Amino acid sequence: MKKITMYTTPTCVFCPAIKQFLSKNDITYTEIDVSKDEAALEEMKNISGQMSVPVTVIGDEVITGYDKKKLQKALDA
């Protein structure tokens, strides 16, 4: 199984949708709240090239925003 990391904030509108998608499919992930962890925020910016959340990393694939098709494709690959 690929390692999955999700960068979030408490005010993120799309983060709950990704969490629900992953949970519904019994997929384990690590959530990092970048509003509480400045180093993680910098890491997320370096990985994604942006400041907005959600950023989901599945293996080597970086997915910004909530794109169900991209999430499924990265999980299936």
| CATH number of the CATH domain containing 26 | 3.40.30.10
Rounded average pLDDT over 48-59: 95
* pTM of this prediction exceeds 0.85: yes
**What is d(CA 74, CA 45) in angstroms, rounded to the nearest whole number?**
20
User: Exposed, middle or buried by CB within 10 Å (0-12, 13-18, 19+), for 40?
Assistant: middle
The pLDDT of residue 77 is above 90:
no
Structural domain that includes position 30: 4-76
| pLDDT at residue number 2 | 86
Whether the CB-CB separation of 44 and 34 falls below 8 Å is answered with: yes
**What is d(CA 37, CA 23) in angstroms, rounded to the nearest whole number?**
24
**What is d(CA 17, CA 29) in angstroms, rounded to the nearest whole number?**
14
Total structural domains within the chain: 1
